[in-house]
Each structure stands twice: as C-alpha cells, then as structure tokens.
Structure 1
Amino acid sequence: MKVGIIGAGRIGKVHAKNISMFVPEMEIKTIADPFMNEQTEAFAKSCGIPNTTKDANDILNDPEIDAVLICSSTDTHSKYIIEAAHAGKNIFCEKPIDYDLEKVHAAINAAKEAGVKLQIGFCRRFDHNHRAVYDMVRDGKVGKVNIIKISSRDPEPPPVSYVKVSGGIFYDMMIHDFDMARFLAGSEVTEVNAVGSVLVDPGIGEAGDVDTALVTLKFANGAIGVIDNSRKAVYGYDQRVEVFGSEGCAEDQNDTPNTAVLSTADGAVHGVAYKVMWDRYTGAFVAEMQAFADAVINDKETPVTGEDGLYPVLMAAAATKSLHEGRPVKISEIEA
C-alpha cells in the first residue's frame, strides 16, 4: 500500500527508514514537513521516497495514497487525524492523540464515521521483552494479577524548550507506561495518585514540570500498580516491567547491545543498557508498522485503537491533577 508521512522530525525519519528497509508491504510515496530542507530531502531520497513537500495537503489530496503516518508535533495530531479521515485515508498516529480530551474524542469519532483504520503509536506493546511478559500473563501463568510495576527512565533530560510545550512528564513520557500498565493488567485504571520532584534539572521545575515522578494505580479488577519515571538514568535507557500474580511473577530486564560478560579477579562486568530509545525499540517500531500494514491490507482491527489512545490521556490528566492537588484522582472525575 502507498503511504504518506506527515512530519519529518526524529520519529518520522525512524518510521521512514524502517519502512524502506523492513516493511515491503508499504511504499512511501511522499513525506511532508513545513521545515523541509535539503538535508531532509537527501534523507528521503536515501529511503527511496520520490516526493518531498512542505504541504501536508499534497498527501491528503493524493488519491493514490492509501494511508497516512502522522509524525508531526503533538498539537497537530488531532487536526491531521480528522483531515485524513475526511480524505478517506487510513491513519497511523504517534501518541498522544492530543492533550485536550474533546479533541481526542473528535479525532476518534472522525475515523469511525469515515470507516478508516486508526492505530496509535504505543510501540512498547510490540517490544519482544514486554510482549513476552504480556503473553505469560494472558496465558494465565502468573494467575490472578495482583501488582504491576513499571520503571521507565531516560538517559538524559530533554531540552527545557521541549518540556514547555510537551504537556509535562505524564503526557510526553509516562503516557507510554500508562498504556503498558492497562495492557498488562487487562483492566482499566480507576484511580491515580501521583507525586513528583525536581531532582535532575532546575530548569524543568522553572518550566512548571517535574523530572522525577512516581504514580500508583488502582485497576477495576482489583489489581494495583506503580510506575516510576526519571528524566536521567546515568547508566542508559532503563525499561523494565513486572507482573506479580497469585501463581507467579513475570518480569523483564533491560536489553543490552550484547550479552557478553567479562569475568576477572576484580569481578564480572556486564554489557550496559542501550543509550537511546531508537536503538532500544528498533524491533518494536518495525513490528508496529507491520501490524498497521496488516490491519489495512487484510481489513483487520488495528492492534492499538483510538480508544487505546484515549485511556492513557485520561490517566495523564488524572496524574497531573493529582500532582497539583496532592490527592488521589479518580478517572471518572476526568471523564466527567
């Protein structure tokens, strides 16, 4: 199927490269970015993309393009979902759909009314480690789920300029973990309690955010969860999940570029964790594109639906409210 990519920033380039190398079911016809320049044009050419443009309408109005990948800034996601739906294009959109819940609902409804596919880019569901834990839970190997623990820590903080427009740590970082928590639990979160501190970069605090956060969750099925985030882990990109249940515990550890261990008289030295997200989740990015192509070509439901995109935004809003008000917040408060 022929696709167009809106947004040629970091994630847009990741998807373009992966599709050109690993997803033969998809052919990128056009990539659009308002800041298109010679460097990006050269990148597109290296990926075999024949057309570059500054105008996303060149993609939306092209009858040959079957699907659109929305990789632009978050504040444009819902807008492009609605426009793509009206144009009859199937849609893959990076998370989150929007910070504004009314816009999230409008985008989801537009895709439903147009009868087009909508998949949201929660790539961690497709990671081989996290997926293995999920499969163990779904197969009943841990019994009844009691506790979910997720640690997600970045190797270095983002620029303060990014923090000012990102919506905060719960929207731009922990939102992946909110999705993973409900994915692993097989149940919706009913209550969120958040605490946070500024321990990494004072500039993040001055921008009105925290850089270190811990959230506890209550699920409808009775399970409880805890998520911790930090903007800086000096040892690399730290990504781990654990599901503890009545019959056992399933967990994964950090990926490393290799599993070699050096043992000497001074002790054993293991490989270090990946340093950047793009390396850690390379396989997951490819797998989510393959899943999207499969859903469109074979007329299946996408594995990460618009509703899957909605609930983590509800959880992020509840966490933000909890942090500011110093109390647990029920999801029903946010929905109301």
Structure 2
Amino acid sequence: MKFCVFGAGRMGAIHAGNIAATDRATLGYIVDTNLERANTLANKYGAIASIDCKNVLADPSVNAVIIASATDTHADLIEASVRANKAIICEKPIDLSLERVRTCERAIAGFDKPVMIGFQRRFDTTHRAVRQAIEQGEIGAVESISITSRDPSPPPYEYIKTSGGQFFDQMIHDFDLALWMSGASGNAKVFAMGAALIDPVIGELGDTDSAHVLIELETGAFCKIECSRRSNYGYDQRVEVFGASGMVSSNNLHTSAIDRWTMRGTGIRSMLQPDFMKRYLPCYATELSVFIDAIENGTPIEPNFVAGRRALQLAEAAHQSKMSGLSVDVNLA
C-alpha cells in the first residue's frame, strides 16, 4: 500500500516516519510547496519529493494520502483526493469555515473509501479505556464529562495569527473527545468564555489563551471543558466521566513512575510529560494501523469526516457564544 504525504512540516514528518516504520505500507511521495523541505524529508525515507499535487494524485500506484499541509489547503486536497479515488487521513481542522466544510461534505458524499480526520487523542490507550468502560455500562448513563487541557506554553504569535483561535485550534480536540465519550450526535447548547490572561499580546491578536466551555448535550448530560495555553508544570491532559453508577477518568502521564515521600514532602511526583509529542506520539502509529485496517477490510472508519464537521460546529458555536455572551444552539446531525 503506497502513501503520499502532503506537507513536510512537523506533522508531515510524524506521519512519514510512521509509514516508513510499518511493513504494511510504503512512502511514495512527500508533497510540499517548499521543494527543499520536501526533499529533506523524502530523502530520509527514500520517497520522491514534489510540489505538484495533481501529478502525484494521478499516480495509480498511490493508494492513500495523508493531508498534513496548511489548514487552508485541507478541504481542497480532500476533494482532489476523492476525485483521484485515494483513501484519506486529514489533520484537523478540515477548514476554519463551517460553510466550506459543508460544501466539502456534499462534494465527497457517496465516496466508498476511508476519510479519516486526525483526532489522534481517540487512540490514546487511557482515553480508549475510558470510552470502553462507558460502552460496557460500567458507570451507567453518562451525566457529566469534565475535560482539562493545558498546554505547557503558548504557540508563537505568527502561529496564532493563522490558527483560527483557541476554540478552533487547541480546543477542537476536546470537542471531539466530548462527543466521542458521550456518543452524542443531536442537538447541543454551548456557552463559552475566554480571555487573554497569560499574554495580552494574544488578546491584541484577537485570540484567547484561557477558555471555559459548557455544553449541554441532547442526552441531558453536561460537558465542561477548560483550556489554557500555559501550564508551568507540564502538559496537563485529564478526562473525567461521571455516570449514574460510577466515575471513570483518564489521568496524566508523568516523566517518571517514581513517587517520593521525604521530609520535604509526601507523594512528590515527577513532572508531567512536557508536550503533546511525548504524550500522544504513539497515537499516530495506532491511527495509521486502524486506517490501513479499514482500507484492507472495508470496515467503517472513525473518526470520520462527520466527526470533523461536528467538532468544528462546536468550535464555531463556542466562538459565537464568547463574542455574544449568550448560549448558542447547535444541531450536530
């Protein structure tokens, strides 16, 4: 099975490495607008570098593509890849415009190959254990979900200028987790608040670095999401799901499993993992394996395009709520 990776940046490099590491696939092409950067990555794995999307998609030996290029290219590349009959993994978000995403959804309707959206946190072993406990009825009907997501430090200002904002960039993973954990897919009510508490320059750029979102799901369950762009103790990632007969949680990973009890204090633990690479890097290999399984076996793919659209709907609703100070109703169907 031959892959093409669009984008030779950090995410493209992760995907290229995972393809090269498995005996179930080969890396055929790296496509990037910067040919020098594409060459550097392609040469590392014996692939071909290109700046020409059309020629690469026209290659009948390419079975699948991974879209890890700039966000504003995602929807166009999805549509082009569908026309070329290629299976697809696309990094989040599909686009920053919900209207553009809906247009893309209509354009690819009926396509019979996998289109996966890169919500890699679904493949984290602890998050999957929480989801499994819910599915098996261990905690009864879900009544509330609490998600904490704190990055170690804010991204560069240049990134913030084009990211779409905290709701669309950082928190979109948490919106997907909330829907995945709850199984909700109908109407929702969203209320959001956000501010630039960490760095006023982020506020001047029209973004927030601290945000809280409350979602009332169609089932009646509540979801609370708290995000920060700065956590001086490491990458803080926690999920708690409370149900009618119990609670299940996914907790942080630490740099060491050793705890200390001394005269300086008791239960002293090591720092959290420093960033998303350390916390979630194994998830990308699992994601690729699940994707290949779906291609080979014809099994339904998750997270699919609809999951990407629904997460963006919640991001858009959160943005509207923050701007208006009012709750916003969303139909996720």
Asked if residue 7 in structure 1 is aligned to residue 7 in structure 2, the reply is yes
Under a length normalisation based on structure 1, what TM-score does the superposition of the two structures give? 0.95
Q: Paired residue for 2:35? A: 36
Kept in 2: contact 1:31–1:44 (CA 8 A):
yes
Kept in 1: contact 2:143–2:220 (CA 8 A):
yes
After superposition, the CA RMSD in angstroms is 1.5
Going from structure 1 to structure 2, the CA distance change for 1:59 and 1:40 (only over 3 Å counts) comes to: closer
Q: Paired residue for 1:302? A: 301
Kept in 2: contact 1:31–1:49 (CA 8 A):
no
Structure 1 distance, partners of 2:83, 2:38, is: 28
Structure 2 distance, partners of 1:102, 1:171, is: 14
Structure 2 distance, partners of 1:40, 1:270, is: 42
Kept in 2: contact 1:212–1:230 (CA 8 A):
yes
Q: Paired residue for 1:203? A: 201
Q: Deviations over 1:141-167 (max 9, x none)?
A: 111110100000100101121111111
Secondary structure of residue in 1 paired with 2:81: helix
| 1:61 CA drift (Å) | 1.5
| 1:50 CA drift (Å) | 2.2
Letter in 2 for 1:27: T
Structure 2 distance, partners of 1:132, 1:192, is: 27
Matches within 5 A, 1:104-183: 104-183=101-180
Structure 2 distance, partners of 1:108, 1:257, is: 41
Q: Paired residue for 1:259? A: 257
Q: Paired residue for 1:103? A: 100
Matches within 5 A, 1:256-295: 256-267=254-265, 268-295=267-294
Which residue of the other structure, out of 241, 244, 249, is the alignment partner of 1:246? 244
Secondary structure of residue in 2 paired with 1:199: coil
| 1:266 CA drift (Å) | 1.6
Kept in 1: contact 2:31–2:38 (CA 8 A):
no
Q: Deviations over 1:78-134 (max 9, x none)?
A: 000001111111111011111222221232233333433200000011101111111
Asked if residue 78 in structure 1 is aligned to residue 75 in structure 2, the reply is yes
Kept in 1: contact 2:32–2:38 (CA 8 A):
no
Q: Report % sequence identity.
A: 38
Deviates more, 1:91-100 or 1:322-331: 91-100
Secondary structure of residue in 1 paired with 2:148: strand
Structure 2 distance, partners of 1:115, 1:144, is: 34
Structure 2 distance, partners of 1:113, 1:249, is: 39
Name the count of aligned residue pairs.
331
Structure 1 distance, partners of 2:42, 2:261, is: 45
| 1:40 CA drift (Å) | 4.8
| 1:11 CA drift (Å) | 0.6
Secondary structure of residue in 2 paired with 1:287: helix
The unaligned stretches of length 5 or more in structure 1 are none
Under a length normalisation based on structure 2, what TM-score does the superposition of the two structures give? 0.96
Letter in 2 for 1:285: Y
Letter in 1 for 2:195: S
Letter in 2 for 1:113: G
Letter in 1 for 2:78: I
Q: Paired residue for 1:214? A: 212
